[in-house]
Amino acid sequence: MEIKNMQGISYRRDLCDFCGTCVAVCPHDAIELSENDLQITEKCTQCMNCVYICPVRALGGSDE
Amino acid sequence: MNKKYDIVVVGAGPAGSTAARFAAQSGASVLLLEKDREIGIPVRCAEGVGEKGLETVVKIKPHWIAQEVSGVTLISPSEDRVDVESNEMGYVLNRKIFDYELAQMAATAGADVLTRAYVHGLLFREGKVSGVKLQHLDAELEVEASIVIGADGVESRVGRWAGLKTKTSMKDMETCAQVTASHIDVDERYCQFYFSNEKYPGGYLWIFPKGNGLANVGLGLSGEYSKHKSPLACLQDFLDAKFPHASILTTVAGGVPCSPTLEQIISDGLMLVGDAAHQANPVSGGGITSGMIAAKIAGQVAGAAIADGNVSKKRLTEYVNLWNKAEGNKHKVFYKLKKFVYNLTDEELDNAARILLDMPIEKRTLVNIFKSALIKHPSLIVDIIKAFA
């Protein structure tokens, strides 16, 4: 399994459902989501909203 | 596809396709854009609707319906089951077919439709929205429009790009997981709702039957509580305990914004509809019908604004006013109710269930349910009775 680390957030594409819930709760519009990929841009402040809301735990703190 | 349209609609869910249909019927040139490869897939939805509201927007076709339901079963934390007959027919839809045909109806009305069209920004002229930037397959395109309608769902960015405040708070975001599974042996005349503040804080678990033992089984938790356990993990626990033999045909996840409608859903040359505008019912999270009611109004107002040659925010305010009158004002009351319902302890929920069970089924109406649950909160009862009146 591939884990991508972006701005201190880990992302597992194999778990991601591309639902966009993380995009909706990001206060800084830091998440770019397409049909099959997700990017966290440097606007991220590591508030962790996306990690806590992710329904399938595709996003995590990078130390997890 | 042309380079210029009167109206571009971003997102071909039920709200987007409905807005496109009504705008095209008014004579405007319309382009409907969908980022996914196929309209109707994936279905991030429990698929339940009431007949009356939906019929105001579209004539319901039998082949859209997976299962007719006559009411709901409310299940308390200690699993008392309270059947409540509804005053209207309910349907669990096949949204794959439903969404597809709504888009087809928009096309029949004259809209151009395009899939695999990923909108990633807006065009501006003199500070006002003037179109969209999109990627279609490997081509970067710009399409001009007098009005852009953002029907881009929970993950909406169209509003943000236009400077509207669209962020959803963690508390008001229901984070959900759902399976469509077979061998779900339930009474298929009812949609079932499990409530428990301990197990499903800020949300509930649902079973919506789709006929022959197939059902959508899902749950939502408020984002305030999902830090400790994901909805997918909670759902797995439920299935293991209650339906260990379920065969899972589809697994989806997603969020539902359960707040009142956003303060700003229009700007010069811009309108938001559906989940993008937070138009789902804040208590139930049901958003198909309410999104489509809003989209019908938005499509009609957009079409009329084009005919007038005036797409200013002031002109588009008509949409906001008509929406508030239709559903938006009710949603403000529902939001108060939501805060109350989701603060009930499991003991209070069990007590409310017992009061309802002592009531004959013909007296178990929504208003009476709320009265029994709200016995110590008379001002909220008054608000609710007004909203239903």
Q: Does B176 touch chain A (CB under 8 A)?
A: yes
| DSSP state string for B117-164 | EEEEEEEEETTEEEEEEEEETTEEEEEEEEEEEE---TT--HHHHTT-
| Identity of the amino acid at B46 | A
Q: Which residues contact B267 (CB under 8 A, 6 or more apart)?
A: B129, B162, B163, B164, B313
- For residues B178 and B197, is the Cβ–Cβ distance under 8 A? no
Phi and psi torsions of B187, nearest 5°: -70, 110
Render pLDDT for B204-215 as a digit per residue (tens, 0 to 9). 999 999 999 999
Name every chain A residue with its beta carbon within 8 A of the beta carbon of B254.
Answer: 17, 19-21, 55
- Residue A37 Cα, gap to closest chain B Cα (Å): 13
H helix runs in chain A, sequence order: 21-25, 49-53
- A64 close contact with B: CB closer than 8 A: no
The predicted pLDDT at position B280 comes to 97
CB distance from A29 to chain B under 8 Å?
A: yes
* CB atoms B226 and A53 under 8 Å: yes
A39 Cα to chain B: minimum distance (Å): 13
Asked if B224 and B202 touch (Cβ cutoff 8 Å), the reply is: yes
Q: Does B367 touch chain A (CB under 8 A)?
A: no
pLDDT in tens, A11-59: 999 999 999 999 999 999 999 988 789 999 999 999 999 999 999 999 9
Lowest mean pLDDT among A4-8, B353-357, B368-372: B368-372
Q: Where are the domains of chain A?
A: 3-59
| Element spanning B305, H or E | helix B288-308
Q: Is the pLDDT of residue B135 over 60?
A: yes
Q: Which residues of A touch B227 (CB under 8 A)?
A: 52
The pLDDT of B236-251, averaged and rounded, is: 97
Band of pLDDT at residue A63, cut at 50, 70 and 90: low
When pLDDT is averaged across residues B285-310 and rounded to a whole number, the result is: 97
pLDDT reported for residue B340: 85
Return the pLDDT at A64.
47
Q: Which of the four pLDDT bands, split at 50, 70 and 90, describes residue B389? A: low
Which pLDDT score is estimated for A35? Answer: 77
Phi, psi of B360 (to 5 degrees): -60, 150
pLDDT score of B244 more than 90: yes
Structural domains of chain B ordered from first start: 4-44+96-168+261-328 (3.50.50.60), 64-92+170-257 (3.30.9.10), 339-388 (no CATH)
Please compute the mean of the pLDDT values over residues B309-332 and round it to a whole number.
97
**ipTM (interface pTM):** 0.94
Contact A23 B177 (CB under 8 A): no
Determine the Cα–Cα distance for residues B366 and B318; give it in Å rounded to an integer.
31
How far apart are the C-alpha atoms of B74 and B84, rounded to whole Å?
8
Question: Which residue shows structure tokens 């991030």?
Answer: B44
Which CATH architecture does the domain made up of A3-59 adopt? 2-Layer Sandwich (3.30)
How would residue B381 be classed by pLDDT, with cut points 50, 70 and 90? low
Instruction: Provide the pLDDT for residue B352.
Output: 84
| Residue A37 sits at the chain B interface (C-beta within 8 Å) | no
Per cent of chain B over pLDDT 90 is 85
Angle at B17 between CA B16 and CA B20, to 5 degrees: 85
Taking the CA of residue A23 and the nearest CA in chain B, the distance in Å comes to 5
Percent of chain B with pLDDT over 70: 95
Residue B384 and residue B239: Cα distance in Å, rounded?
Answer: 35
> Residue A19: which of B36, B253, B257 has the nearest Cβ?
B253
Q: What would the two tokens of residue B332 be?
A: 């403000």
Rounded to an integer, the average pLDDT of B129-141 is 96
- From B59-73, B107-121, B328-342, the region with the lowest mean pLDDT: B328-342
Q: Are B92 and B48 in contact (CB under 8 A)?
A: yes
Predicted pLDDT at B380: 67
How confident is the prediction for chain B on average, in pLDDT? 94
Which pLDDT score is estimated for B179? 98
The number of residues making up chain B comes to 389
d(CA B44, CA B365): 29
User: CB–CB of A20 and B153 under 8 A?
Assistant: yes
Q: What is the pLDDT of residue B384?
A: 64
Nearest CA in chain B to A36: B36
Angstrom distance (rounded) from CA B54 to CA B292: 8
- Shortest distance, CA A48 to any CA of chain B (angstroms): 10
Q: Could you tell me which chain A residue has the CA closest to the CA of B252?
A: A17
Residues within 8 A of A (CB atoms), B 154-173 only: 154-157, 160, 167-170, 173
